[in-house]
Structure 1
Amino acid sequence: MPDAKTTLTRTELFDLVWSKPATKVAADYGVSSVAVAKACRRLDVPTPPRGYWTQLAHGKVIPRPTLGSRKPGERESTSLGEGAKISKSAEIDSTVTVDNTPAPEKPHPIVQKTRAAFRGGAKDSRYGTLYGKRDIPHLRVSVTPDTFERAIEILNRLAWMLERNGFVLEEPKEGSESVQPIFVATKTKIDFSVQEVVERYERELTAEEKKQSWTWDRWRYRPTGRLKIVLAEYEPQGARKSWSDGKVQKLDEKLTEIVEGFIICAQGKHAAHLKWEAQRQQWAEEARRREEAERQRQEEEKRRNLFRESALRWREANLMREFRAACEAKLRGQKADGTLTADEEAWLLWADSVVDRNDPLKGSLLERSLTEWVTSRRQCNS
């Protein structure tokens, strides 16, 4: 059975893409239609023009081009999965297969609510598009009354297809009237809307207005009847996020490709989220390390200051001890028998206590300094 790694020659690839739509080729080989298009570009294989399969289904005969030869040394084969990447910034699985089984005829519950939300709703004064009622959860729609029913029909088919391909459409629990599909595999919500293309044109200006450099209401807007589906998501970069009615192929005929885009977008958005979370955790770890390094620096500075204070006090205690001895010698030298009075002995005892209190080797300062150093070293090693 063919898969993304199956090697195809130019001739085989040419026959393949002209025998069935790219979406079906992609499903057979377990890749996306984007990967099929890239393979054709790699081997310079011409592909069917837009609307080819629709015209063929209506009996129109469109001649197939010939497959030209390549220059010597250029590639003659590839696999559809080669280098398949959807996002420029997120690594995701680009092999997307869409279940395009026909949608049920019955209305989807969320689409029913959407219809009710816009029934009798107000219109935008500038664009003529309908407003949905805020008290009824609904899908995001921005169309005129003339295209509303077609938009609902497209949404109904899209909603059933999304649910068959891993999405769920649920009413928001609180805070928002907009319903958005959630990709169950990654719990990723996709923000999308169905819109009617509105053209802007310049109204006819008066002679006086033409003399002015700026006119505030010079533009008018008219609906075109063309619908488009837009994914309002940034990730994955480089992936397609909008589809619209074409001259030949209408939006209704692109639903398989659109659902594929939803899946790719959900995968890419989730991958980007994981990448961001990993980056955030890395930044948090780097911040923690900086904080720990700063804490250790402050602790080391505190220990150095304590050691320096001890050294200064030790030097002062030795100076005081020498001075105390000199005082005692002076007092004894003033007496013929070298004896001291009771007051003099008491004063010398007081002087001894002052020296002892100031001497780090006799007080608790040395023990405190040693204890803090040992504790800090154990914390660093743990």
Structure 2
Amino acid sequence: MLEKYDRAKLLDEVWTDAVTVVAPRYQLSDVGLQKLCRRLQIPTPPRGYWTRLKAGKPVAPRPKLREYIGHPMHLFRTPAPPVPPTPLPLDERLAVLLASERDPANHIVVPDHIRHWHPLVVAAQQSLKKPVIDQRDMPSTRRPALSISVSPAQQARALKIADVLLKAFEARGYPVTQGQHDVNICMLGRLYHLRLFEACTKAAYVPTAKQLADQAKGAWSYWPKSHYVPTGRLQVLINEGYAGKVMDSDRLPVEAQLNKLLEQMATTAVESLVNAERQAVIDAKRQQLREAALERKRLQDSERQRLGQLETDAHNWRRAQAIREYLDALEQTLDARGSVVDQQAFIQWGRAKAAWLDPLLHEVVDILDEEIKVPF
């Protein structure tokens, strides 16, 4: 939301204090404030005004603020540019991994010839002999082999890249295993899967000479309007590109970017680890607050129970006192009539019940204390 300048306030400020004092209030320099006042059509003190005022000499009177006739947008304050967030310090574990990948001694090189293939790459080679044909008519490995979906012209290259990558993972201490569906790489306790993919472009389908000849003879024929054409550009994906992705470009082939791929994986793995650690701290604090709240709740429930028992005891004590007072009055009335002897058993029974009700007399036992279960 745009903030509008208060012209009357600014006029009062520039005629009360020097420009050097007023300018910082608007995050401007002295020259910038002068330009702002001209844009807002606010007169400023002439040169030498403050020197003459300090010396006690007569100065120009403060002018009145005239009606603004400039561009309406000049009345609004330009919002300050957003302050970029302070970048978080690089995690020490990630810094070590990145430094290792950027060390020339650890540069991953794809050789021209491979003598001993990785067992999982051998399995992928066998799978490509009887491939699955995907919707782009591209041969792909059958699960659970290493996921490779490239044209026959790129298969040898893709297999070499996969072989070098899997060996590089293992050399760095990242176990490589065959999962139920994909080849998994375990980095910092997180599982990632590898996929090699060749991009395609969609082009108009060009019928073969045989198809055209059959059509010319009147034979039934059909061909699609378009088809996919392999581009020859490989992509190496980690978790479908969400944890790392490199691809052939006009400047660099995939083979020159394999260390970059591992850097991306390391970044994702450390971020996941940091997030898990941060969440563990949050969960521990939440659990601590929960346990404290539960303990407080137990104390509260205990206090409520004690208070309830106190109220019950007080109520029963008042009942016992009321019965005793009634029996005393009854006894006096009967004594005056001379018939107290006839009601003496009732009076004794009543006093016994009052004693049973009285919480101050805990030793009193009565039939009312019994829990009687009548058998069927």
Q: Give the TM-score category using the shorter length.
A: 0.5 to 0.7
Correspondence for 2:304 among 301, 304, 317: 301
Look up the SS of the partner of 2:175 in the other structure: strand
Which residue in the other structure is 2:58 paired with? Answer: none
1:282 to 1:233, Cα distance in 2 relative to 1, 3 A: farther
Between the aligned partners of 1:321 and 1:203, the Cα distance in structure 2 is 110
Are 2:113 and 1:111 aligned?
no
Deviations 1:110-157 (A, max 9, x none): 211222233312211x222334333xx422333333322221111011
Equivalent residues of 2:149, 2:196 under 8 A apart: yes
Which residue in the other structure is 2:321 paired with? Answer: 318
One-letter amino acid of the counterpart of residue 161, structure 2: I
Look up the SS of the partner of 1:193 in the other structure: strand
Between the aligned partners of 1:85 and 1:224, the Cα distance in structure 2 is 41
Look up the SS of the partner of 2:259 in the other structure: helix
Deviations 1:164-191 (A, max 9, x none): 122111223xxx12111112xx322223
TM-superposed deviation, 1:158: 0.9
Equivalent residues of 1:92, 1:268 under 8 A apart: no
Deviations 1:277-322 (A, max 9, x none): 3323333333333333333322222222111111111112111110
Which residue in the other structure is 2:183 paired with? Answer: 179
Q: Normalising by the residue count of structure 2, what TM-score does the alignment of the two structures yield? A: 0.59
Between the aligned partners of 1:353 and 1:219, the Cα distance in structure 2 is 104
One-letter amino acid of the counterpart of residue 229, structure 1: V
TM-superposed deviation, 1:352: 1.0
Are 2:280 and 1:277 aligned?
yes
Look up the SS of the partner of 2:132 in the other structure: coil
Which residue in the other structure is 2:137 paired with? Answer: 128
Which residue in the other structure is 2:291 paired with? Answer: 288
Gaps of 5+ in 1: 1-82, 205-216, 366-382
Gaps of 5+ in 2: 1-86, 207-223, 365-376
TM-superposed deviation, 1:227: 1.0
Which residue in the other structure is 1:93 paired with? Answer: 94
One-letter amino acid of the counterpart of residue 347, structure 1: F
Deviations 1:26-79 (A, max 9, x none): xxxxxxxxxxxxxxxxxxxxxxxxxxxxxxxxxxxxxxxxxxxxxxxxxxxxxx
Between the aligned partners of 1:201 and 1:319, the Cα distance in structure 2 is 103
Equivalent residues of 2:108, 2:259 under 8 A apart: no
TM-superposed deviation, 1:325: 1.0
Q: Normalising by the residue count of structure 1, what TM-score does the alignment of the two structures yield? A: 0.58
Correspondence for 1:138 among 135, 140, 145: 145
1:324 to 1:121, Cα distance in 2 relative to 1, 3 A: same
Equivalent residues of 1:139, 1:180 under 8 A apart: no
TM-superposed deviation, 1:203: 8.8
One-letter amino acid of the counterpart of residue 138, structure 1: A
Between the aligned partners of 2:132 and 2:333, the Cα distance in structure 1 is 109
Equivalent residues of 2:108, 2:258 under 8 A apart: no
1:112 to 1:359, Cα distance in 2 relative to 1, 3 A: same
1:247 to 1:289, Cα distance in 2 relative to 1, 3 A: same
1:144 to 1:275, Cα distance in 2 relative to 1, 3 A: farther
Between the aligned partners of 1:339 and 1:305, the Cα distance in structure 2 is 39
Correspondence for 2:159 among 152, 156, 159: 152
One-letter amino acid of the counterpart of residue 340, structure 1: V
1:364 to 1:227, Cα distance in 2 relative to 1, 3 A: farther
One-letter amino acid of the counterpart of residue 108, structure 1: H
* Count of residue pairs brought into register by the alignment: 252
One-letter amino acid of the counterpart of residue 352, structure 1: R
One-letter amino acid of the counterpart of residue 168, structure 1: P
Identity among equivalent pairs (%): 19
Look up the SS of the partner of 1:167 in the other structure: coil
Which residue in the other structure is 1:328 paired with? Answer: 331
Between the aligned partners of 2:359 and 2:240, the Cα distance in structure 1 is 69
Between the aligned partners of 2:164 and 2:225, the Cα distance in structure 1 is 40
Alignment RMSD (CA, Å): 3.2
TM-superposed deviation, 1:354: 1.0
Correspondence for 1:225 among 218, 224, 232: 232
Which residue in the other structure is 1:52 paired with? Answer: none
Deviations 1:10-30 (A, max 9, x none): xxxxxxxxxxxxxxxxxxxxx
TM-superposed deviation, 1:84: 8.3
Structure with the larger helix share: 2
1:120 to 1:245, Cα distance in 2 relative to 1, 3 A: same
Q: Which runs of 4+ in 1 moved over 6 A?
A: 201-204
Deviations 1:207-246 (A, max 9, x none): xxxxxxxxxx9986443221112222898xxxx8211101
Between the aligned partners of 1:313 and 1:161, the Cα distance in structure 2 is 83
